[in-house]
Structure 1
Amino acid sequence: MKGFGTFALIVGICWVVFALSMDVSVSTGMGRVNNLGLMADRQVHAIVGGMIALAGLVMLILGGKVSGSAPSALAEMDTRPCPLCAETIKNAAIKCKHCGAEVEQATRVIPAAGWTVRIPCRPGMEFDATQKIMEDEGLPCEKPDGAVVVIGPYEEKREAVEVLRQIRENNSLFGELSYKG
């Protein structure tokens, strides 16, 4: 929706510029005079262009909002119900944050092959900071490949794509998908 909003905003601005640059005068034997019909056309074009630009701006601003009631697919994969109170807790949790009960940590079965998310970094502090962010997010980090943080593997490509999207939205980090065979 943000892409369409950007497109509508650009089209609206171009339309307004076109409308304001319209010539509304006509030539007569005694010089140029303003034509009321052309002035009305310019006004209509300016209003239509302004409305399209305004609609595009609204789509651009509100297009990125995600409904807070719908949990993401990654959150569903990374959570489970507490065995005592049935509230949602993370798979890595050893204590329920809702009822305080001690629970066993759910172990993730790591496939031998699958889709990985690879985030290239500069060696040193940037690599260490990125690795820490991924561990704090509870994402399974594999042995690093040089200065590349490797997350996964995941059996299905959609799981890796969801992790990539989450990393981009939450941490403004960009990576790539790779298949580890």
Structure 2
Amino acid sequence: MKGLGTFALIAGICWLIFALSMDVSVSTGAGGRVNNLGLMADRQIHTIVGGVIALAGLLMVLLGGKGSPAAAQAEKNTRPCPMCAESIKTAAIKCKHCGADVEPAAAPRLKNGWVASTTCRDEEEQQSTIEAITGTGLPVVSMIGLAVGAGPFATKEEAKQALVTMRDGPRLFSEIVYRDSVSGKYPPISD
């Protein structure tokens, strides 16, 4: 958005310069010049159009938000130091500004994503499945009815790897599903 705004601002300013430098007079033949109403109207229209484009470009530049995805990513991967409040990386264990030892921030748990889901016949089997998934070191998430799963994961490949781990370790057979928050079929994950 900022790039388009910058282009429009430059184009509008160039248009304004062109409009204001237009000659609106014509030769009378006797060595004199007079203003032509048609050329004056053209200059007025060009001035208005150039001004509107320049104004729109300026607004896009000012209200365009973040400049680049890299800047947004850098901001997302930082947090304030608990001692000096300077910006440090999320995974930092020592502040580069004040030298204080800080705890690394825990990664937030996904609310939606790919899950290796296992269906259970009753609550007893559900509890043993939860214990088996926990024993493999995978995160446990509740699913529809008595089903439970490992996840959610950001990619389908991670869920497939969890499926293999569950199959090879505790011999749990599951399927890969996408757990969303829109359908209302899954209870929400609380932090």
Settle same-fold status: TM greater than 0.5.
Answer: no
Question: Shorter-chain-normalised TM-score: which range?
Answer: 0.3 to 0.5
Greater Rg by CA:
2
TM-score (norm 2): 0.37
